[in-house]
Amino acid sequence: MGVIAVFNQKGGVGKTTTALNLLATIARRGHRPFGIDLDPQAHLSHVFGLQPRLADDSIYSFFVRGRPLADVAQITRSGVVVCPAHLELAKIDSLLGKGVKVVTKLRQALHDHALPAAPVVIDCSPLLNTLSLNAIFACDVLLVPVSSDFLSLRGAQQVERAVNALEPVFKRRLPRRYLLTRYDGRRDMSEEVVREMASAFRPEDMCATRIHESVKLAESPAIELDVFRHAPGSSGAQDYEALGDELMRAGFVN
């Protein structure tokens, strides 16, 4: 199967763009991936044309009502199966708290044999909350987009500290990959972020792939398309194709 959680404690780093295009590149390889939107802003859901009017028609009902994931999921017009988000997800922390059974609920459901054995991509909010903890406990690899600026890098370092603190609970080292996004080799800041990432994280935790700054890539979510359908010959499409290959070679997509 393979479960990938996309998370950074800084917004605006290309998190939803990465989740969207990972789902698309997995689908291009002949799979029907399973997307889960855990961000109350529901940007990933909107790109796929899913805007549930009622919270009970979203992933909210899985957490609060115990509704099976398979019942919440919808097949989108692009063929990707998605569990959509809803603004009511913002209330999950106050409703459920952060007990062990709560933060492992998604993990248990994804290992339910009633679900198809498909690659899973989870889009998280930038908050380390009950929903993000569910994604972290459920995933096989934590993918952390880091846009080429220092605030994004600081957010990634916060993620590293949080995951390290959770590892006694995991009883293992959670695999993670730090992905440089919005990279532009002509800018001094991009190169400085590259150097700081190299000193902040283990070499094996760094993605070899870099997602370059691209107008086509940036505009594709706004017109509700992944980059492969919007601009298949663009550098953005090539970069996400390379990222898919890299994650497959590492065994995180199968």
Measured from the Cβ of residue 186, the count of other Cβ atoms closer than 10 Å reads 7
User: pLDDT tens, 46-91?
Assistant: 999 999 999 999 999 999 999 999 999 999 887 899 999 999 999 9
pLDDT digits (tens, 9 = 90+) for 162-194: 999 998 988 889 999 999 999 988 888 889 999
The model's pLDDT over 203-226, given as tens digits with 9 standing for 90+, comes to 999 999 999 999 999 999 989 999
Give the integer Cα–Cα distance in Å for 217 and 211.
Answer: 9
Mean pLDDT within 145-164: 93
For the chain, give the number of residues.
254
> CA–CA distance from 23 to each of 20, 35, 70, 242 (Å)?
5, 7, 18, 13
**For the chain, what are the domain ranges?**
3-249
Interatomic CA distance for residues 110 and 3, integer angstroms: 9
* Residue 40, phi-psi category: left (phi > 0), alpha (psi -120 to 50), beta (remainder): alpha
Q: Which residues pair with 141 in a beta bridge?
A: 4
Scan for tokens 């959770």, then name that residue.
166
pLDDT tens string 32-42:
899 999 999 99
Contact by Cβ (8 Å): 33, 80: yes
pLDDT at 115: 65
What is the mean pLDDT of the segment spanning 81-104?
A: 94
Spatial CA neighbour of 14 closest among 165, 207, 245, 174: 207
Q: Is the pTM of this model over 0.85?
A: yes
CATH of domain 3-249: 3.40.50.300
